[in-house]
Amino acid sequence: MKTLKNFIVEGKHEKPIITDVFYKETHQPKNVVVFCHGYKGFKDWGAWNLMAKAFAEAGFFFVKFNFSHNGGTLEQPIDFPDLEAFGNNNYIKELDDLESILDWISNNSDFKNEININDISIIGHSRGGGIVTIKTAEDSRVKKLISLAAVCDFGSRSSTIGDLENWKKTGVKYVLNGRTKQKMPHFYQFYINFKENEERLNIERSAKKITVPHLIIHGNTDTSISVEEAKKIHSWNPKSTLKIIKNADHVFNVSHPWEKEEMTKALKEVTTTCIDFINNN
Protein backbone atom coordinates (compact mmCIF):
# COMPACT_ATOMS: atom_id res chain seq x y z
CA MET A 1 0.00 0.00 0.00
CA LYS A 2 1.17 3.52 -0.78
CA THR A 3 0.80 6.17 1.89
CA LEU A 4 1.71 9.80 1.29
CA LYS A 5 1.46 11.90 4.44
CA ASN A 6 1.49 15.62 5.21
CA PHE A 7 1.76 17.15 1.76
CA ILE A 8 0.26 20.51 0.93
CA VAL A 9 -2.80 21.25 -1.17
CA GLU A 10 -3.09 24.98 -1.80
CA GLY A 11 -6.33 26.48 -0.57
CA LYS A 12 -8.01 29.89 -0.84
CA HIS A 13 -7.25 31.17 2.64
CA GLU A 14 -3.47 31.64 2.89
CA LYS A 15 -2.93 28.55 4.99
CA PRO A 16 -1.98 25.13 3.61
CA ILE A 17 -4.37 22.20 3.59
CA ILE A 18 -2.26 19.36 5.02
CA THR A 19 -3.27 16.18 3.21
CA ASP A 20 -2.72 12.39 3.23
CA VAL A 21 -3.53 9.76 0.61
CA PHE A 22 -3.75 5.98 1.01
CA TYR A 23 -4.06 3.58 -1.94
CA LYS A 24 -2.80 0.38 -3.52
CA GLU A 25 -0.72 1.25 -6.60
CA THR A 26 -2.38 -0.77 -9.35
CA HIS A 27 -2.33 1.75 -12.24
CA GLN A 28 -6.08 1.22 -12.42
CA PRO A 29 -8.59 4.01 -11.69
CA LYS A 30 -10.03 3.70 -8.19
CA ASN A 31 -13.11 5.29 -6.70
CA VAL A 32 -12.13 8.23 -4.47
CA VAL A 33 -13.17 8.67 -0.85
CA VAL A 34 -12.54 12.03 0.89
CA PHE A 35 -12.77 12.24 4.68
CA CYS A 36 -13.46 15.48 6.62
CA HIS A 37 -12.75 15.67 10.36
CA GLY A 38 -14.96 17.47 12.84
CA TYR A 39 -14.75 20.31 15.37
CA LYS A 40 -11.54 20.22 17.44
CA GLY A 41 -10.52 17.36 15.15
CA PHE A 42 -7.64 16.58 12.80
CA LYS A 43 -6.87 14.00 10.15
CA ASP A 44 -4.61 11.88 12.40
CA TRP A 45 -6.97 11.80 15.37
CA GLY A 46 -7.54 8.43 17.05
CA ALA A 47 -7.95 5.56 14.59
CA TRP A 48 -8.62 7.57 11.42
CA ASN A 49 -5.35 6.23 9.95
CA LEU A 50 -6.53 2.66 10.53
CA MET A 51 -9.83 3.52 8.84
CA ALA A 52 -7.93 5.05 5.90
CA LYS A 53 -5.86 1.88 5.49
CA ALA A 54 -9.01 -0.26 5.54
CA PHE A 55 -10.50 1.78 2.69
CA ALA A 56 -7.26 1.51 0.70
CA GLU A 57 -7.15 -2.27 1.26
CA ALA A 58 -10.73 -2.41 -0.05
CA GLY A 59 -9.56 -0.81 -3.31
CA PHE A 60 -10.31 2.89 -2.79
CA PHE A 61 -8.14 5.97 -3.21
CA PHE A 62 -8.60 7.49 0.25
CA VAL A 63 -7.90 11.18 0.98
CA LYS A 64 -7.99 12.87 4.38
CA PHE A 65 -6.87 16.34 5.31
CA ASN A 66 -6.73 19.00 7.98
CA PHE A 67 -8.97 21.99 7.37
CA SER A 68 -6.62 24.92 6.79
CA HIS A 69 -7.71 26.73 9.97
CA ASN A 70 -8.18 23.72 12.28
CA GLY A 71 -5.22 24.86 14.41
CA GLY A 72 -2.63 22.41 13.11
CA THR A 73 0.51 23.31 11.15
CA LEU A 74 2.73 21.53 8.63
CA GLU A 75 5.36 21.04 11.34
CA GLN A 76 2.76 19.86 13.86
CA PRO A 77 -0.35 18.57 12.05
CA ILE A 78 -1.56 16.82 15.21
CA ASP A 79 -3.22 18.98 17.90
CA PHE A 80 -3.45 22.77 17.93
CA PRO A 81 -0.23 24.81 17.97
CA ASP A 82 -1.88 27.62 15.93
CA LEU A 83 -4.77 28.82 18.08
CA GLU A 84 -4.92 32.09 16.12
CA ALA A 85 -5.87 30.10 13.02
CA PHE A 86 -8.39 28.05 15.04
CA GLY A 87 -10.06 31.26 16.21
CA ASN A 88 -10.29 32.51 12.64
CA ASN A 89 -11.88 29.34 11.29
CA ASN A 90 -15.49 29.28 10.07
CA TYR A 91 -17.87 27.07 8.09
CA ILE A 92 -17.27 28.90 4.80
CA LYS A 93 -13.51 28.35 5.05
CA GLU A 94 -14.15 24.65 5.62
CA LEU A 95 -16.46 24.47 2.57
CA ASP A 96 -13.78 26.27 0.53
CA ASP A 97 -11.10 23.86 1.77
CA LEU A 98 -13.20 20.85 0.75
CA GLU A 99 -13.73 22.46 -2.65
CA SER A 100 -9.96 22.92 -2.99
CA ILE A 101 -9.48 19.21 -2.25
CA LEU A 102 -12.10 18.28 -4.87
CA ASP A 103 -10.37 20.60 -7.37
CA TRP A 104 -7.01 19.01 -6.57
CA ILE A 105 -8.43 15.52 -7.16
CA SER A 106 -10.18 16.56 -10.37
CA ASN A 107 -7.05 18.18 -11.86
CA ASN A 108 -4.39 15.84 -10.53
CA SER A 109 -1.82 14.51 -12.99
CA ASP A 110 0.34 12.75 -10.36
CA PHE A 111 -2.33 10.14 -9.65
CA LYS A 112 -4.19 10.16 -12.96
CA ASN A 113 -3.79 6.38 -13.42
CA GLU A 114 -5.02 5.70 -9.88
CA ILE A 115 -8.07 7.97 -9.61
CA ASN A 116 -11.54 7.71 -11.07
CA ILE A 117 -12.55 11.37 -10.88
CA ASN A 118 -16.10 10.45 -11.92
CA ASP A 119 -16.76 8.56 -8.69
CA ILE A 120 -16.02 10.67 -5.61
CA SER A 121 -17.60 9.92 -2.23
CA ILE A 122 -17.25 12.29 0.72
CA ILE A 123 -17.45 11.35 4.40
CA GLY A 124 -17.70 13.85 7.25
CA HIS A 125 -17.56 13.29 10.99
CA SER A 126 -19.51 15.48 13.45
CA ARG A 127 -19.31 19.12 12.27
CA GLY A 128 -17.65 17.72 9.14
CA GLY A 129 -20.89 15.80 8.53
CA GLY A 130 -22.71 19.11 8.16
CA ILE A 131 -19.98 20.42 5.84
CA VAL A 132 -20.17 17.41 3.50
CA THR A 133 -23.97 17.54 3.39
CA ILE A 134 -23.89 21.17 2.22
CA LYS A 135 -21.07 20.51 -0.26
CA THR A 136 -22.85 17.50 -1.78
CA ALA A 137 -25.94 19.64 -2.43
CA GLU A 138 -23.74 22.20 -4.19
CA ASP A 139 -21.20 20.15 -6.13
CA SER A 140 -22.12 17.63 -8.82
CA ARG A 141 -18.67 15.99 -8.60
CA VAL A 142 -19.78 14.31 -5.37
CA LYS A 143 -21.48 11.02 -6.23
CA LYS A 144 -22.07 9.59 -2.73
CA LEU A 145 -22.46 11.19 0.69
CA ILE A 146 -21.79 9.67 4.12
CA SER A 147 -22.15 11.47 7.44
CA LEU A 148 -20.83 10.05 10.72
CA ALA A 149 -22.29 11.35 13.99
CA ALA A 150 -23.21 14.52 12.11
CA VAL A 151 -24.76 17.73 13.35
CA CYS A 152 -28.11 18.63 11.77
CA ASP A 153 -28.03 22.36 12.51
CA PHE A 154 -25.23 24.93 12.49
CA GLY A 155 -27.51 27.79 13.55
CA SER A 156 -28.08 26.82 17.16
CA ARG A 157 -24.39 26.03 17.63
CA SER A 158 -23.18 29.27 16.05
CA SER A 159 -25.10 31.49 18.44
CA THR A 160 -24.68 29.51 21.64
CA ILE A 161 -20.92 29.67 22.11
CA GLY A 162 -21.56 31.63 25.29
CA ASP A 163 -23.23 35.00 25.71
CA LEU A 164 -23.66 36.73 22.34
CA GLU A 165 -23.46 40.31 23.64
CA ASN A 166 -20.30 39.62 25.59
CA TRP A 167 -18.80 37.78 22.62
CA LYS A 168 -19.43 40.80 20.40
CA LYS A 169 -18.01 43.17 23.01
CA THR A 170 -14.81 41.23 23.73
CA GLY A 171 -14.38 39.83 20.23
CA VAL A 172 -13.50 36.35 21.49
CA LYS A 173 -14.98 33.36 23.33
CA TYR A 174 -12.95 30.47 24.72
CA VAL A 175 -13.81 26.78 24.80
CA LEU A 176 -11.72 24.45 26.94
CA ASN A 177 -10.23 21.43 25.19
CA GLY A 178 -10.64 18.72 27.82
CA ARG A 179 -7.81 16.60 26.40
CA THR A 180 -5.10 19.21 25.66
CA LYS A 181 -6.31 21.68 28.36
CA GLN A 182 -5.96 24.53 25.87
CA LYS A 183 -8.38 27.46 25.92
CA MET A 184 -9.50 27.39 22.29
CA PRO A 185 -10.53 30.82 20.96
CA HIS A 186 -13.53 31.58 18.77
CA PHE A 187 -13.29 35.08 17.36
CA TYR A 188 -16.53 36.96 16.75
CA GLN A 189 -15.93 36.73 12.98
CA PHE A 190 -17.29 33.17 13.29
CA TYR A 191 -20.75 34.44 14.19
CA ILE A 192 -20.68 37.28 11.64
CA ASN A 193 -19.64 34.86 8.89
CA PHE A 194 -22.43 32.47 9.85
CA LYS A 195 -25.10 35.19 9.78
CA GLU A 196 -23.85 36.46 6.41
CA ASN A 197 -24.13 32.95 4.94
CA GLU A 198 -27.06 31.61 6.94
CA GLU A 199 -29.11 30.37 3.98
CA ARG A 200 -26.19 28.50 2.43
CA LEU A 201 -25.27 27.00 5.81
CA ASN A 202 -28.74 25.53 6.39
CA ILE A 203 -28.17 21.76 6.64
CA GLU A 204 -31.90 20.95 6.39
CA ARG A 205 -32.15 22.87 3.11
CA SER A 206 -29.13 21.02 1.75
CA ALA A 207 -30.29 17.57 2.90
CA LYS A 208 -33.60 18.07 1.10
CA LYS A 209 -31.70 18.72 -2.15
CA ILE A 210 -29.55 15.59 -2.02
CA THR A 211 -30.20 13.27 -4.98
CA VAL A 212 -27.11 11.01 -4.76
CA PRO A 213 -26.89 7.94 -2.48
CA HIS A 214 -26.76 9.18 1.12
CA LEU A 215 -25.74 7.17 4.20
CA ILE A 216 -26.23 8.49 7.75
CA ILE A 217 -24.41 6.68 10.58
CA HIS A 218 -24.76 7.50 14.27
CA GLY A 219 -24.03 5.79 17.58
CA ASN A 220 -26.96 5.30 19.93
CA THR A 221 -24.90 6.29 23.00
CA ASP A 222 -23.53 9.52 21.50
CA THR A 223 -23.66 12.17 24.26
CA SER A 224 -22.04 14.92 22.13
CA ILE A 225 -24.58 14.90 19.30
CA SER A 226 -27.87 13.11 19.88
CA VAL A 227 -28.92 10.30 17.58
CA GLU A 228 -32.09 12.37 17.12
CA GLU A 229 -30.05 14.67 14.85
CA ALA A 230 -29.34 11.71 12.54
CA LYS A 231 -33.06 10.92 12.48
CA LYS A 232 -33.84 14.51 11.50
CA ILE A 233 -31.37 14.42 8.60
CA HIS A 234 -32.90 11.11 7.50
CA SER A 235 -36.40 12.64 7.62
CA TRP A 236 -35.24 15.52 5.38
CA ASN A 237 -33.96 13.03 2.81
CA PRO A 238 -36.20 9.95 3.12
CA LYS A 239 -34.26 8.23 0.33
CA SER A 240 -31.19 8.21 2.56
CA THR A 241 -30.06 5.14 4.52
CA LEU A 242 -29.91 5.46 8.32
CA LYS A 243 -27.63 3.11 10.26
CA ILE A 244 -27.58 3.24 14.06
CA ILE A 245 -24.51 1.63 15.65
CA LYS A 246 -25.38 0.03 18.99
CA ASN A 247 -23.32 0.93 22.07
CA ALA A 248 -21.27 3.46 20.08
CA ASP A 249 -20.40 6.95 21.31
CA HIS A 250 -19.63 10.10 19.30
CA VAL A 251 -16.23 8.80 18.17
CA PHE A 252 -17.30 5.16 17.85
CA ASN A 253 -15.52 4.21 21.08
CA VAL A 254 -12.10 5.40 19.91
CA SER A 255 -9.91 7.81 21.91
CA HIS A 256 -6.77 9.81 21.16
CA PRO A 257 -4.02 8.78 21.05
CA TRP A 258 -4.94 5.33 19.73
CA GLU A 259 -2.02 2.93 20.17
CA LYS A 260 -3.83 -0.29 19.26
CA GLU A 261 -3.31 -2.13 15.99
CA GLU A 262 -7.04 -2.47 15.34
CA MET A 263 -10.10 -0.26 15.25
CA THR A 264 -12.84 -0.66 17.84
CA LYS A 265 -15.70 -3.00 17.02
CA ALA A 266 -17.92 0.06 16.46
CA LEU A 267 -15.51 1.81 14.06
CA LYS A 268 -14.97 -1.46 12.19
CA GLU A 269 -18.73 -1.69 11.73
CA VAL A 270 -18.80 1.93 10.53
CA THR A 271 -15.99 1.30 8.04
CA THR A 272 -17.50 -1.93 6.69
CA THR A 273 -20.92 -0.26 6.37
CA CYS A 274 -19.37 2.65 4.43
CA ILE A 275 -17.40 0.39 2.08
CA ASP A 276 -20.43 -1.80 1.37
CA PHE A 277 -22.61 1.26 0.79
CA ILE A 278 -20.20 2.81 -1.72
CA ASN A 279 -19.66 -0.49 -3.55
CA ASN A 280 -23.38 -1.26 -3.75
CA ASN A 281 -24.43 2.16 -5.02
* Per-residue pLDDT at 21 exceeds 60: yes
CATH tag, 2-153+199-280: 3.40.50.1820
d(CA 190, CA 184) in angstroms, rounded, equals 13
Select the more confidently predicted residue: 26 or 158: 26
d(CA 196, CA 175) in angstroms, rounded, equals 23
Percent of the chain exceeding pLDDT 70 equals 98
d(CA 100, CA 97) in angstroms, rounded, equals 5
What is residue 163's predicted lDDT score, i.e. its pLDDT?
82
**pLDDT tens per residue, range 157-174:** 766 656 888 999 999 999
- Mean predicted confidence (pLDDT) in 136-165: 88
d(CA 35, CA 234) in angstroms, rounded, equals 20
In this structure, are strands 30-36 and 61-65 parallel, antiparallel, or unpaired?
parallel
- Mean predicted confidence (pLDDT) in 76-93: 97
Report pTM. 0.97
* Per-residue pLDDT at 226 exceeds 60: yes
d(CA 230, CA 247) in angstroms, rounded, equals 16
